[in-house]
Amino acid sequence: MNERNKCMFDTVIFNRVVEHKVSVELLAECVDVYATHIQRDEINNTPMF
């Protein structure tokens, strides 16, 4: 059984997902994504286009 990579992304990656430059579906196939309240706060404070 292969162990999946565990990742925490910064705002740059979150922005690229929102801009459709990075596929969230592809990420979900490859890694387990984790976030702390810091990343969630940044996401919540980032204006959506």
- Give tens-digit pLDDT for 3-32: 889 988 887 887 888 889 999 888 888 899
DSSP state for residue 34 in the 8-state scheme: E
Q: Which band of pLDDT confidence, cut at 50, 70 and 90, is reported for residue 1?
A: low
- Predicted TM-score of the model (pTM): 0.57
Q: Which two tokens stand for residue 45?
A: 């404070």
Closest to 9 in 3D by CA, of 46, 31, 48: 31
| Per-domain residue ranges of the chain | 5-45
Q: Using CA atoms, how far apart are residues 40 and 9, in angstroms rounded to an integer? A: 11
